[in-house]
Structure 1
Amino acid sequence: MRRLFQEATTIWQEDGLVKLVRKTTKFGYDNFIRPLLPTHVVRYNGVLVRASRVGDSFIPWRATDIPNYEDALVCGIRRYVEKNDTVVIIGGGWGVSTVVAAEQVGKRGRVITYEGGERTVEKIKETVQLNGLSDRISIQHSVVGQAISLRDDSGGAKVVCPIEIPNCDVLVLDCEGAETQILEQMEIFPRNVVVETHGIYDAPKATVLSKLSDAGYDLIETRVAERRLLEECMRNGIYVVYAKRSDEIDC
Protein backbone atom coordinates (compact mmCIF):
# COMPACT_ATOMS: atom_id res chain seq x y z
CA MET A 1 0.00 0.00 0.00
CA ARG A 2 2.84 2.37 0.84
CA ARG A 3 4.42 1.74 -2.55
CA LEU A 4 1.13 2.50 -4.34
CA PHE A 5 0.77 5.73 -2.38
CA GLN A 6 4.31 6.76 -3.37
CA GLU A 7 3.59 6.00 -7.04
CA ALA A 8 0.35 8.01 -6.89
CA THR A 9 2.19 10.94 -5.33
CA THR A 10 4.82 10.84 -8.07
CA ILE A 11 2.18 10.81 -10.83
CA TRP A 12 0.35 13.74 -9.21
CA GLN A 13 3.54 15.78 -8.92
CA GLU A 14 4.87 14.99 -12.40
CA ASP A 15 1.71 14.62 -14.53
CA GLY A 16 -1.05 16.37 -12.61
CA LEU A 17 -4.38 15.43 -11.04
CA VAL A 18 -6.17 14.44 -14.29
CA LYS A 19 -3.53 11.84 -15.14
CA LEU A 20 -3.64 10.51 -11.58
CA VAL A 21 -7.43 10.10 -11.72
CA ARG A 22 -7.19 8.25 -15.04
CA LYS A 23 -4.51 5.86 -13.82
CA THR A 24 -6.32 5.26 -10.53
CA THR A 25 -9.57 4.48 -12.34
CA LYS A 26 -7.81 2.06 -14.69
CA PHE A 27 -6.01 0.34 -11.81
CA GLY A 28 -9.21 -0.01 -9.81
CA TYR A 29 -11.21 -1.43 -12.70
CA ASP A 30 -8.50 -3.87 -13.89
CA ASN A 31 -7.66 -5.20 -10.44
CA PHE A 32 -10.88 -5.08 -8.41
CA ILE A 33 -13.93 -4.81 -10.69
CA ARG A 34 -13.03 -6.64 -13.91
CA PRO A 35 -12.03 -9.97 -12.24
CA LEU A 36 -15.56 -10.21 -10.77
CA LEU A 37 -17.37 -9.79 -14.10
CA PRO A 38 -18.55 -12.78 -16.20
CA THR A 39 -16.16 -13.92 -18.93
CA HIS A 40 -16.97 -13.46 -22.59
CA VAL A 41 -15.77 -15.30 -25.71
CA VAL A 42 -14.11 -13.19 -28.40
CA ARG A 43 -11.90 -13.88 -31.42
CA TYR A 44 -8.13 -13.45 -31.52
CA ASN A 45 -6.98 -13.71 -35.13
CA GLY A 46 -10.05 -15.78 -35.92
CA VAL A 47 -9.64 -18.12 -32.93
CA LEU A 48 -12.28 -18.33 -30.21
CA VAL A 49 -10.85 -17.40 -26.79
CA ARG A 50 -12.46 -16.65 -23.45
CA ALA A 51 -10.30 -13.58 -23.03
CA SER A 52 -12.82 -10.82 -22.45
CA ARG A 53 -15.16 -9.74 -19.68
CA VAL A 54 -18.69 -8.44 -19.96
CA GLY A 55 -18.33 -4.68 -20.17
CA ASP A 56 -14.89 -4.61 -21.83
CA SER A 57 -16.36 -3.10 -25.00
CA PHE A 58 -17.20 0.04 -23.01
CA ILE A 59 -13.69 0.43 -21.58
CA PRO A 60 -11.33 2.49 -23.81
CA TRP A 61 -8.15 0.59 -22.86
CA ARG A 62 -9.72 -2.88 -23.16
CA ALA A 63 -9.83 -4.77 -26.47
CA THR A 64 -12.50 -7.29 -27.42
CA ASP A 65 -11.91 -9.01 -30.77
CA ILE A 66 -8.30 -8.66 -31.96
CA PRO A 67 -8.15 -9.60 -35.66
CA ASN A 68 -4.36 -9.21 -35.91
CA TYR A 69 -3.42 -10.81 -32.58
CA GLU A 70 0.15 -12.22 -32.82
CA ASP A 71 -0.11 -11.64 -36.55
CA ALA A 72 3.51 -12.48 -37.47
CA LEU A 73 3.59 -15.72 -35.47
CA VAL A 74 0.18 -16.83 -36.75
CA CYS A 75 1.13 -15.91 -40.33
CA GLY A 76 4.26 -18.06 -40.06
CA ILE A 77 2.25 -21.04 -38.84
CA ARG A 78 -0.33 -20.67 -41.59
CA ARG A 79 2.37 -20.29 -44.20
CA TYR A 80 4.71 -23.14 -43.26
CA VAL A 81 2.63 -25.80 -41.50
CA GLU A 82 1.26 -28.40 -43.90
CA LYS A 83 -1.38 -31.13 -43.76
CA ASN A 84 -0.38 -34.15 -41.64
CA ASP A 85 2.59 -32.30 -40.09
CA THR A 86 3.71 -32.69 -36.50
CA VAL A 87 4.16 -29.28 -34.89
CA VAL A 88 5.85 -28.53 -31.57
CA ILE A 89 4.99 -25.20 -29.93
CA ILE A 90 6.96 -23.97 -26.93
CA GLY A 91 5.10 -21.17 -25.16
CA GLY A 92 1.33 -21.43 -25.45
CA GLY A 93 -0.11 -18.03 -24.47
CA TRP A 94 -3.86 -17.97 -25.04
CA GLY A 95 -3.65 -21.08 -27.22
CA VAL A 96 -4.11 -19.17 -30.48
CA SER A 97 -0.94 -20.54 -32.09
CA THR A 98 -1.90 -24.05 -30.97
CA VAL A 99 -5.35 -23.85 -32.55
CA VAL A 100 -4.06 -22.32 -35.80
CA ALA A 101 -1.42 -25.07 -36.07
CA ALA A 102 -4.09 -27.71 -35.40
CA GLU A 103 -6.27 -26.29 -38.16
CA GLN A 104 -3.34 -26.46 -40.55
CA VAL A 105 -2.26 -30.05 -39.82
CA GLY A 106 -5.74 -31.52 -40.22
CA LYS A 107 -7.14 -34.63 -38.55
CA ARG A 108 -4.07 -36.77 -39.23
CA GLY A 109 -1.59 -34.20 -37.99
CA ARG A 110 -0.42 -33.56 -34.45
CA VAL A 111 0.33 -30.49 -32.32
CA ILE A 112 2.30 -30.68 -29.08
CA THR A 113 2.30 -27.52 -26.96
CA TYR A 114 4.58 -26.96 -23.97
CA GLU A 115 3.60 -24.27 -21.44
CA GLY A 116 5.13 -23.66 -18.03
CA GLY A 117 2.47 -21.41 -16.45
CA GLU A 118 -0.16 -23.36 -14.51
CA ARG A 119 -3.08 -20.98 -15.18
CA THR A 120 -1.94 -20.46 -18.75
CA VAL A 121 -2.15 -24.20 -19.38
CA GLU A 122 -5.81 -24.10 -18.32
CA LYS A 123 -6.44 -21.18 -20.69
CA ILE A 124 -4.92 -23.13 -23.58
CA LYS A 125 -7.04 -26.18 -22.78
CA GLU A 126 -10.16 -24.01 -22.71
CA THR A 127 -9.28 -22.40 -26.06
CA VAL A 128 -8.67 -25.81 -27.63
CA GLN A 129 -12.05 -27.04 -26.40
CA LEU A 130 -13.84 -23.90 -27.60
CA ASN A 131 -12.49 -24.51 -31.09
CA GLY A 132 -13.20 -28.26 -31.09
CA LEU A 133 -9.68 -29.47 -31.86
CA SER A 134 -8.80 -31.62 -28.84
CA ASP A 135 -8.41 -34.72 -31.02
CA ARG A 136 -5.08 -33.63 -32.49
CA ILE A 137 -3.53 -31.56 -29.69
CA SER A 138 -1.39 -32.56 -26.70
CA ILE A 139 -0.79 -29.90 -24.04
CA GLN A 140 2.19 -30.44 -21.75
CA HIS A 141 2.49 -28.52 -18.47
CA SER A 142 6.25 -28.21 -18.83
CA VAL A 143 9.07 -25.68 -18.95
CA VAL A 144 11.48 -26.36 -21.79
CA GLY A 145 14.97 -25.28 -20.87
CA GLN A 146 15.03 -22.32 -18.50
CA ALA A 147 11.92 -20.52 -17.23
CA ILE A 148 12.92 -16.90 -17.81
CA SER A 149 9.54 -15.12 -17.87
CA LEU A 150 6.40 -17.17 -17.27
CA ARG A 151 2.99 -15.47 -17.40
CA ASP A 152 2.08 -16.99 -14.02
CA ASP A 153 3.34 -19.46 -11.40
CA SER A 154 4.68 -22.75 -12.73
CA GLY A 155 2.72 -24.79 -10.17
CA GLY A 156 5.07 -27.75 -10.30
CA ALA A 157 5.59 -27.82 -14.06
CA LYS A 158 7.88 -30.54 -15.37
CA VAL A 159 11.26 -29.33 -16.64
CA VAL A 160 12.12 -30.65 -20.10
CA CYS A 161 15.67 -30.44 -21.46
CA PRO A 162 15.84 -29.08 -25.05
CA ILE A 163 17.42 -32.35 -26.20
CA GLU A 164 14.12 -34.04 -25.25
CA ILE A 165 12.00 -32.06 -27.71
CA PRO A 166 10.35 -34.65 -29.99
CA ASN A 167 10.88 -34.80 -33.73
CA CYS A 168 8.57 -32.49 -35.67
CA ASP A 169 8.12 -30.86 -39.05
CA VAL A 170 7.71 -27.33 -37.70
CA LEU A 171 9.01 -25.90 -34.42
CA VAL A 172 7.42 -22.73 -33.01
CA LEU A 173 9.25 -20.89 -30.22
CA ASP A 174 7.52 -18.15 -28.22
CA CYS A 175 9.09 -18.76 -24.83
CA GLU A 176 10.10 -15.34 -23.52
CA GLY A 177 13.88 -15.55 -23.67
CA ALA A 178 14.48 -19.32 -23.63
CA GLU A 179 14.71 -19.39 -27.44
CA THR A 180 18.50 -19.17 -27.66
CA GLN A 181 19.11 -22.01 -25.18
CA ILE A 182 16.64 -24.23 -27.03
CA LEU A 183 18.22 -23.52 -30.42
CA GLU A 184 21.67 -24.25 -28.98
CA GLN A 185 20.77 -27.54 -27.32
CA MET A 186 17.98 -29.13 -29.38
CA GLU A 187 18.89 -32.27 -31.32
CA ILE A 188 15.96 -32.25 -33.76
CA PHE A 189 16.09 -30.76 -37.27
CA PRO A 190 12.57 -29.60 -38.25
CA ARG A 191 11.78 -28.47 -41.79
CA ASN A 192 10.83 -24.98 -40.58
CA VAL A 193 11.36 -22.97 -37.42
CA VAL A 194 9.25 -19.95 -36.43
CA VAL A 195 10.80 -17.96 -33.58
CA GLU A 196 9.64 -14.90 -31.67
CA THR A 197 12.68 -12.98 -30.43
CA HIS A 198 12.74 -11.16 -27.10
CA GLY A 199 15.51 -8.61 -26.83
CA ILE A 200 14.17 -7.57 -23.42
CA TYR A 201 14.96 -11.10 -22.14
CA ASP A 202 18.44 -11.45 -23.69
CA ALA A 203 17.18 -13.21 -26.81
CA PRO A 204 17.54 -10.43 -29.41
CA LYS A 205 17.02 -10.92 -33.12
CA ALA A 206 20.75 -10.96 -33.96
CA THR A 207 21.46 -13.71 -31.43
CA VAL A 208 18.50 -15.81 -32.57
CA LEU A 209 19.59 -15.49 -36.21
CA SER A 210 23.10 -16.57 -35.26
CA LYS A 211 21.83 -19.61 -33.34
CA LEU A 212 19.58 -20.60 -36.24
CA SER A 213 22.50 -20.37 -38.65
CA ASP A 214 24.68 -22.48 -36.34
CA ALA A 215 21.86 -25.06 -36.18
CA GLY A 216 21.75 -25.35 -39.97
CA TYR A 217 18.93 -22.97 -40.89
CA ASP A 218 18.62 -20.20 -43.46
CA LEU A 219 16.62 -17.06 -42.87
CA ILE A 220 13.46 -16.63 -44.93
CA GLU A 221 12.01 -13.44 -43.43
CA THR A 222 11.89 -11.31 -40.28
CA ARG A 223 8.80 -9.35 -39.21
CA VAL A 224 7.74 -7.20 -36.28
CA ALA A 225 5.75 -9.47 -33.96
CA GLU A 226 2.53 -7.42 -33.82
CA ARG A 227 1.78 -4.43 -36.01
CA ARG A 228 -0.76 -3.08 -33.51
CA LEU A 229 2.05 -2.92 -30.92
CA LEU A 230 4.71 -1.67 -33.31
CA GLU A 231 6.49 0.77 -31.00
CA GLU A 232 6.51 -1.63 -28.05
CA CYS A 233 7.81 -4.49 -30.19
CA MET A 234 10.62 -2.41 -31.67
CA ARG A 235 11.57 -1.00 -28.27
CA ASN A 236 11.77 -4.48 -26.70
CA GLY A 237 13.23 -6.34 -29.67
CA ILE A 238 10.16 -8.51 -30.30
CA TYR A 239 10.27 -9.85 -33.84
CA VAL A 240 9.28 -13.10 -35.52
CA VAL A 241 11.83 -14.96 -37.60
CA TYR A 242 10.94 -17.55 -40.25
CA ALA A 243 13.70 -20.03 -41.07
CA LYS A 244 14.06 -23.11 -43.24
CA ARG A 245 16.39 -26.06 -42.95
CA SER A 246 19.38 -25.42 -45.22
CA ASP A 247 18.90 -28.55 -47.30
CA GLU A 248 15.30 -27.44 -47.95
CA ILE A 249 16.18 -24.07 -49.49
CA ASP A 250 15.07 -23.83 -53.11
CA CYS A 251 17.83 -23.21 -55.63
Structure 2
Amino acid sequence: MKALSHFRTVSKNTNLLTALKFSVSYFVDSYIRPYAPTIDQSAAIRNISITKKAKFTDLFVPHKAYHEYLMCKLIEENTQRNDSVVVVGGGRGITATLEAKNVGSNGDVLIFEAFPEKSKKIKQVLSANSINAETNVRTAAVANKKPSNFPPKTILVDPSDLPRCDVLELDCEGAEIEIIDKLPFLPRDIYVETHGIYGTPRDDVINALERNRFEVVKSFDHIKKKGITILHGRSNS
Protein backbone atom coordinates (compact mmCIF):
# COMPACT_ATOMS: atom_id res chain seq x y z
CA MET A 1 0.00 0.00 0.00
CA LYS A 2 1.26 3.48 -0.89
CA ALA A 3 0.50 4.83 2.59
CA LEU A 4 2.86 2.24 4.14
CA SER A 5 5.57 3.10 1.62
CA HIS A 6 5.06 6.78 2.44
CA PHE A 7 5.41 6.02 6.16
CA ARG A 8 8.73 4.26 5.58
CA THR A 9 10.09 7.19 3.56
CA VAL A 10 8.98 9.87 6.00
CA SER A 11 10.16 7.97 9.08
CA LYS A 12 13.75 8.18 7.83
CA ASN A 13 13.66 11.98 8.02
CA THR A 14 11.53 12.66 11.09
CA ASN A 15 10.33 11.07 14.32
CA LEU A 16 7.88 8.18 14.52
CA LEU A 17 4.90 10.26 15.68
CA THR A 18 5.30 12.80 12.86
CA ALA A 19 5.73 10.02 10.31
CA LEU A 20 2.52 8.40 11.54
CA LYS A 21 0.62 11.72 11.34
CA PHE A 22 1.84 12.38 7.81
CA SER A 23 0.97 8.87 6.68
CA VAL A 24 -2.57 9.12 8.06
CA SER A 25 -2.92 12.43 6.20
CA TYR A 26 -1.64 10.77 3.02
CA PHE A 27 -4.09 7.88 3.39
CA VAL A 28 -7.08 10.17 4.01
CA ASP A 29 -6.13 12.50 1.14
CA SER A 30 -5.73 9.57 -1.24
CA TYR A 31 -8.71 7.38 -0.37
CA ILE A 32 -11.31 9.32 1.69
CA ARG A 33 -11.04 13.07 1.09
CA PRO A 34 -11.98 12.93 -2.63
CA TYR A 35 -15.43 11.62 -1.62
CA ALA A 36 -15.98 13.89 1.39
CA PRO A 37 -18.39 16.86 1.19
CA THR A 38 -16.99 20.38 0.92
CA ILE A 39 -17.47 22.83 3.77
CA ASP A 40 -17.70 26.61 3.83
CA GLN A 41 -14.12 27.50 4.64
CA SER A 42 -10.81 27.61 2.79
CA ALA A 43 -8.59 24.58 2.67
CA ALA A 44 -5.10 24.87 4.12
CA ILE A 45 -1.80 23.07 3.68
CA ARG A 46 0.64 23.32 6.60
CA ASN A 47 -1.46 26.23 7.97
CA ILE A 48 -1.16 28.08 4.67
CA SER A 49 -4.57 28.95 3.23
CA ILE A 50 -5.01 27.88 -0.39
CA THR A 51 -7.64 28.85 -2.93
CA LYS A 52 -9.80 25.75 -2.70
CA LYS A 53 -12.70 24.88 -0.44
CA ALA A 54 -11.99 22.61 2.51
CA LYS A 55 -13.44 19.15 2.82
CA PHE A 56 -15.20 17.71 5.87
CA THR A 57 -12.22 15.43 6.57
CA ASP A 58 -9.97 18.49 6.96
CA LEU A 59 -11.66 19.20 10.30
CA PHE A 60 -10.10 16.04 11.71
CA VAL A 61 -7.04 15.24 9.58
CA PRO A 62 -4.79 18.03 8.22
CA HIS A 63 -4.86 18.18 4.42
CA LYS A 64 -1.50 17.31 2.83
CA ALA A 65 0.34 17.59 6.16
CA TYR A 66 3.31 15.96 4.40
CA HIS A 67 3.44 18.47 1.49
CA GLU A 68 6.91 20.05 1.16
CA TYR A 69 7.48 19.18 4.81
CA LEU A 70 11.27 18.92 4.52
CA MET A 71 11.65 22.27 2.72
CA CYS A 72 9.20 23.86 5.15
CA LYS A 73 11.22 22.50 8.06
CA LEU A 74 14.36 24.22 6.74
CA ILE A 75 12.46 27.48 6.29
CA GLU A 76 10.98 27.37 9.78
CA GLU A 77 14.37 26.65 11.36
CA ASN A 78 16.61 29.00 9.37
CA THR A 79 14.80 31.85 7.58
CA GLN A 80 14.93 34.87 9.89
CA ARG A 81 12.96 38.06 10.50
CA ASN A 82 13.90 40.85 8.07
CA ASP A 83 15.58 38.46 5.63
CA SER A 84 15.59 39.03 1.89
CA VAL A 85 14.58 35.81 0.13
CA VAL A 86 14.65 34.65 -3.50
CA VAL A 87 12.61 31.59 -4.48
CA VAL A 88 13.34 29.97 -7.85
CA GLY A 89 10.46 27.67 -8.70
CA GLY A 90 7.43 28.86 -6.76
CA GLY A 91 5.24 25.81 -7.41
CA ARG A 92 2.00 25.99 -5.43
CA GLY A 93 3.20 28.94 -3.37
CA ILE A 94 3.33 27.07 -0.05
CA THR A 95 7.04 27.51 0.69
CA ALA A 96 7.11 31.07 -0.70
CA THR A 97 4.23 32.03 1.59
CA LEU A 98 5.94 30.42 4.57
CA GLU A 99 9.12 32.36 3.71
CA ALA A 100 7.07 35.58 3.60
CA LYS A 101 5.49 34.82 6.98
CA ASN A 102 8.90 34.17 8.53
CA VAL A 103 10.61 37.34 7.28
CA GLY A 104 7.88 39.65 8.57
CA SER A 105 6.96 43.17 7.54
CA ASN A 106 10.57 44.34 7.09
CA GLY A 107 11.58 41.39 4.92
CA ASP A 108 10.99 40.70 1.24
CA VAL A 109 10.45 37.67 -0.97
CA LEU A 110 11.00 37.53 -4.74
CA ILE A 111 9.53 34.47 -6.48
CA PHE A 112 10.38 33.24 -9.98
CA GLU A 113 7.92 30.82 -11.58
CA ALA A 114 8.05 29.89 -15.28
CA PHE A 115 4.43 28.77 -15.69
CA PRO A 116 1.86 31.62 -15.88
CA GLU A 117 -0.93 29.57 -14.28
CA LYS A 118 1.33 28.75 -11.33
CA SER A 119 2.38 32.39 -10.98
CA LYS A 120 -1.27 33.35 -10.78
CA LYS A 121 -1.89 30.69 -8.12
CA ILE A 122 1.10 31.88 -6.05
CA LYS A 123 -0.27 35.44 -6.05
CA GLN A 124 -3.65 34.14 -4.92
CA VAL A 125 -2.12 32.11 -2.09
CA LEU A 126 -0.03 35.06 -0.90
CA SER A 127 -3.14 37.27 -0.96
CA ALA A 128 -5.16 34.71 1.02
CA ASN A 129 -2.66 34.68 3.89
CA SER A 130 -2.45 38.36 4.92
CA ILE A 131 1.27 38.61 4.20
CA ASN A 132 3.01 41.71 5.60
CA ALA A 133 6.33 41.19 3.83
CA GLU A 134 7.04 42.79 0.47
CA THR A 135 6.47 40.11 -2.17
CA ASN A 136 6.96 40.04 -5.93
CA VAL A 137 6.08 37.17 -8.28
CA ARG A 138 7.86 37.14 -11.65
CA THR A 139 6.70 34.82 -14.44
CA ALA A 140 10.15 33.78 -15.66
CA ALA A 141 12.61 30.90 -15.54
CA VAL A 142 16.09 31.36 -14.09
CA ALA A 143 18.26 29.63 -16.68
CA ASN A 144 20.27 30.30 -19.83
CA LYS A 145 18.35 27.76 -21.88
CA LYS A 146 14.62 27.04 -21.81
CA PRO A 147 13.81 23.48 -20.65
CA SER A 148 11.81 21.53 -23.23
CA ASN A 149 8.78 21.18 -20.95
CA PHE A 150 8.46 24.93 -20.32
CA PRO A 151 6.01 27.24 -22.17
CA PRO A 152 7.21 28.35 -25.64
CA LYS A 153 7.37 32.04 -24.70
CA THR A 154 9.11 31.56 -21.37
CA ILE A 155 11.09 34.60 -20.25
CA LEU A 156 14.62 33.66 -19.20
CA VAL A 157 16.61 35.34 -16.43
CA ASP A 158 20.34 34.68 -16.36
CA PRO A 159 21.39 33.24 -12.97
CA SER A 160 24.13 35.87 -12.75
CA ASP A 161 21.40 38.53 -12.70
CA LEU A 162 19.72 37.25 -9.53
CA PRO A 163 19.53 39.95 -6.85
CA ARG A 164 21.43 39.59 -3.60
CA CYS A 165 19.53 37.84 -0.82
CA ASP A 166 20.01 36.24 2.58
CA VAL A 167 18.16 33.05 1.62
CA LEU A 168 17.95 31.35 -1.77
CA GLU A 169 15.45 28.54 -2.36
CA LEU A 170 15.87 26.40 -5.49
CA ASP A 171 13.22 24.00 -6.77
CA CYS A 172 13.82 24.37 -10.49
CA GLU A 173 13.87 20.84 -11.91
CA GLY A 174 17.31 20.62 -13.45
CA ALA A 175 18.72 24.17 -13.34
CA GLU A 176 20.13 23.89 -9.81
CA ILE A 177 23.80 23.41 -10.67
CA GLU A 178 23.82 26.10 -13.36
CA ILE A 179 22.32 28.60 -10.91
CA ILE A 180 24.69 27.69 -8.07
CA ASP A 181 27.76 27.99 -10.33
CA LYS A 182 26.71 31.38 -11.71
CA LEU A 183 25.57 33.07 -8.50
CA PRO A 184 27.13 36.55 -8.28
CA PHE A 185 26.94 36.46 -4.46
CA LEU A 186 26.77 34.01 -1.56
CA PRO A 187 23.45 33.91 0.32
CA ARG A 188 23.69 33.00 3.99
CA ASP A 189 21.44 29.97 3.49
CA ILE A 190 20.52 28.01 0.38
CA TYR A 191 17.81 25.34 0.23
CA VAL A 192 17.92 23.05 -2.79
CA GLU A 193 15.55 20.35 -4.01
CA THR A 194 17.68 18.17 -6.29
CA HIS A 195 16.19 16.35 -9.30
CA GLY A 196 18.19 13.35 -10.40
CA ILE A 197 15.56 12.55 -13.02
CA TYR A 198 16.36 15.89 -14.70
CA GLY A 199 20.13 15.49 -14.64
CA THR A 200 21.02 17.08 -11.30
CA PRO A 201 21.61 14.17 -8.86
CA ARG A 202 22.31 14.79 -5.20
CA ASP A 203 26.09 14.25 -5.29
CA ASP A 204 26.57 16.59 -8.26
CA VAL A 205 24.59 19.33 -6.51
CA ILE A 206 26.59 18.82 -3.30
CA ASN A 207 29.83 19.17 -5.31
CA ALA A 208 28.50 22.39 -6.86
CA LEU A 209 27.64 23.79 -3.43
CA GLU A 210 31.02 22.88 -1.96
CA ARG A 211 33.06 24.32 -4.83
CA ASN A 212 31.10 27.55 -4.42
CA ARG A 213 31.96 27.84 -0.71
CA PHE A 214 28.83 26.39 0.82
CA GLU A 215 28.89 23.83 3.61
CA VAL A 216 26.15 21.23 3.26
CA VAL A 217 24.73 21.05 6.77
CA LYS A 218 21.67 18.88 6.08
CA SER A 219 20.64 16.35 3.47
CA PHE A 220 17.27 14.57 3.36
CA ASP A 221 16.31 11.85 0.89
CA HIS A 222 12.79 12.75 -0.21
CA ILE A 223 11.77 10.57 -3.16
CA LYS A 224 14.76 8.31 -3.71
CA LYS A 225 13.60 6.59 -6.90
CA LYS A 226 13.30 9.99 -8.61
CA GLY A 227 16.56 11.29 -7.18
CA ILE A 228 14.82 14.02 -5.20
CA THR A 229 16.79 15.18 -2.18
CA ILE A 230 16.48 18.29 0.01
CA LEU A 231 19.79 19.98 0.80
CA HIS A 232 20.61 22.86 3.14
CA GLY A 233 23.80 24.74 2.38
CA ARG A 234 25.34 27.52 4.48
CA SER A 235 27.85 30.03 3.22
CA ASN A 236 31.42 29.56 4.44
CA SER A 237 32.32 33.22 3.91
**Conserved in 2, the CA contact under 8 Å of 1:87 and 1:171?**
yes
- Is 1:238 the counterpart of 2:228? The answer is yes
- Is 1:222 the counterpart of 2:219? The answer is yes
Gaps of 5+ in 1: 1-29, 31-36, 58-62, 226-232
User: Is the alpha carbon distance of 1:133 and 1:147 closer, same or farther for their aligned partners in structure 2, counting shifts above 3 Å?
Assistant: farther
Please state whether the residue corresponding to 2:90 is helix, strand or coil.
Answer: coil
The number of residue pairs the alignment matches comes to 199
Distance in 2 between residues matched to 1:118 and 1:154, nearest whole Å: 9
Distance in 1 between residues matched to 2:136 and 2:99, nearest whole Å: 12
User: CA-to-partner distance for each residue in 1:156-215, whole Å, 9 max, x for gaps?
Assistant: 342100000000001000011111111111212100100000000001100100000111
Gaps of 5+ in 2: 1-33
Following superposition of structure 1 onto structure 2, how do residues 1-251 of structure 1 map, counting pairs within 5 Å? Answer: 41-50=42-51, 52=52, 65-133=63-131, 135-145=133-143, 146-148=145-147, 154=151, 156-225=153-222, 233-247=223-237
Identity across matched positions, percent: 26
1:224, distance to aligned residue in structure 2 (A): 2.6
1:43, distance to aligned residue in structure 2 (A): 1.4
Over aligned residue pairs, what C-alpha RMSD do you find? Answer: 2.7
**Conserved in 2, the CA contact under 8 Å of 1:148 and 1:201?**
no
User: Is the alpha carbon distance of 1:94 and 1:187 closer, same or farther for their aligned partners in structure 2, counting shifts above 3 Å?
Assistant: same
User: Is the alpha carbon distance of 1:55 and 1:87 closer, same or farther for their aligned partners in structure 2, counting shifts above 3 Å?
Assistant: closer
Distance in 2 between residues matched to 1:132 and 1:180, nearest whole Å: 34
User: CA-to-partner distance for each residue in 1:65-109, whole Å, 9 max, x for gaps?
Assistant: 111210111111111111100000000011011110001101000
Point out the structure with max Rg over C-alpha. Answer: 1
Please state whether the residue corresponding to 1:94 is helix, strand or coil.
Answer: coil
User: Is the alpha carbon distance of 1:45 and 1:147 closer, same or farther for their aligned partners in structure 2, counting shifts above 3 Å?
Assistant: farther
Please state whether the residue corresponding to 1:89 is helix, strand or coil.
Answer: strand
**Conserved in 2, the CA contact under 8 Å of 1:149 and 1:177?**
no
Give TM-score, length-normalised by structure 1. 0.72
